Amino acid sequence: MKKIAIIYGSDSGNTETVAHAISKEFSGMDLHLANIADVSDVQLLEDGDFLILGTPTWGYGDLQEDWERFMPKLKKANLKGKTVALFGLGDSGAYPDTFVDAMAELYEVVIQGGARVIGQVPVDHYDFDDSRAVLDGNFVGLALDEDNESDLTDQRISEWVAKLKPLI
Ligand SMILES: Cc1cc2nc3c(=O)[nH]c(=O)nc-3n(C[C@H](O)[C@H](O)[C@H](O)COP(=O)(O)O)c2cc1C
């Protein structure tokens, strides 16, 4: 059975709640759920076949601080042969110019590490002005906005996971 690792950072709990909701969609599978604040080395990532990495955006377009601390290690991880999907939380109302920017930082590093990234999401149904996490009209992963659109989160997650499952 493929090993799945869901790893998230979270300051005020939203990304943690979402990570748990995503993990429920993979129940019955070989799944490891971890807060990056509790991850000390890259073993957990290198052991997984399919990695789901989540971060909120803080500051002005910044990566969450526990992910930021882990970055030097993530940059050295060998992710060749891994499939990675990303999810990012942000506030498109208060931060329309840096909406879910932090996902871009994870994206760039996992691509450099040799991973294949799946789970891109069209920007069509989001209301924001700019985001570094958009490539060719798609977010590099699942964008979620608990501050303004929490009513859409459950459906966004289940549609996203349904698209991921055949690809892993
Ligand atoms: C001080 C502050 C700065 C923020 N900066 C951004 C930002 O630049 N871009 C964005 O999309 N969201 C931003 N947000 C919104 C958070 O990413 C959002 O509330 C998220 O759900 C928090 O996730 P967490 O509870 O897992 O930490 C910011 C929120 C605060 C309070």
Q: Which atom of ligand 1 is nearest to the CA of 99?
A: 11
CATH number listed for the domain at residues 3-152: 3.40.50.360
Q: Which residue has the higher pLDDT, 1 or 37?
A: 37
pLDDT given at position 106: 98
- Which residues have C-beta atoms less than 6 Å from ligand 1? 10-16, 56-61, 89-91, 95, 98-101, 146-147
Q: Cβ neighbours of residue 96 under 8 Å, at least 6 residues apart? A: 127, 128, 129, 130
DSSP 53: E
pLDDT given at position 20: 98
pLDDT given at position 22: 98
pLDDT given at position 149: 98
Residue 132 Cα to ligand 1 middle (Å): 15
Q: Which atom of ligand 1 is nearest to the CA of 13?
A: 25
- H helices of the chain, where? 14-24, 43-47, 65-76, 102-112, 153-164
64-96: per-residue pLDDT in tens?
999 999 999 999 999 999 999 999 999 999 999
- Pocket residue to mutate for ligand 1, from 11, 12, 68, 91, most atoms within 8 A of Cβ: 91
**Residue located nearest, by CA, to atom 18 of ligand 1:** 90
Instruction: Say whether pLDDT at 1 is over 90.
Output: no
The CA-atom distances, in angstroms, between 38 and each of 8, 33, 42, 67, 70 are: 10, 11, 12, 11, 10
Q: Cβ neighbours of residue 157 under 8 Å, at least 6 residues apart? A: 18, 21, 22, 25, 142, 144
**Residue located nearest, by CA, to atom 4 of ligand 1:** 58
Q: Which atom of ligand 1 is nearest to the CA of 12?
A: 25
Instruction: Give the whole-angstrom CA distance, residue 77 versus residue 90.
Output: 26
- Return the CA Rg of the chain: 14
- Pocket residue to mutate for ligand 1, from 6, 16, 86, 89, most atoms within 8 A of Cβ: 89
Kindly tell me the sign of the dihedral angle through the C-alpha atoms of 146, 13, 96, 52: negative
Arithmetic mean of pLDDT over the chain = 97
Tokens 């709990």 correspond to what residue? 13
95-116: per-residue pLDDT in tens?
999 999 999 999 999 999 999 9
24-67: per-residue pLDDT in tens?
999 999 999 999 999 999 999 999 999 999 999 999 999 999 99
Residue 58 Cα to ligand 1 middle (Å): 5
* Mean pLDDT score, 107-127: 97
Which residue ranges make up each domain of the chain?
3-152
Compute φ and ψ for 61, nearest 5 degrees: 85, 20
Residue 135 and residue 101 in contact, taking contact as beta carbons nearer than 8 Å: no
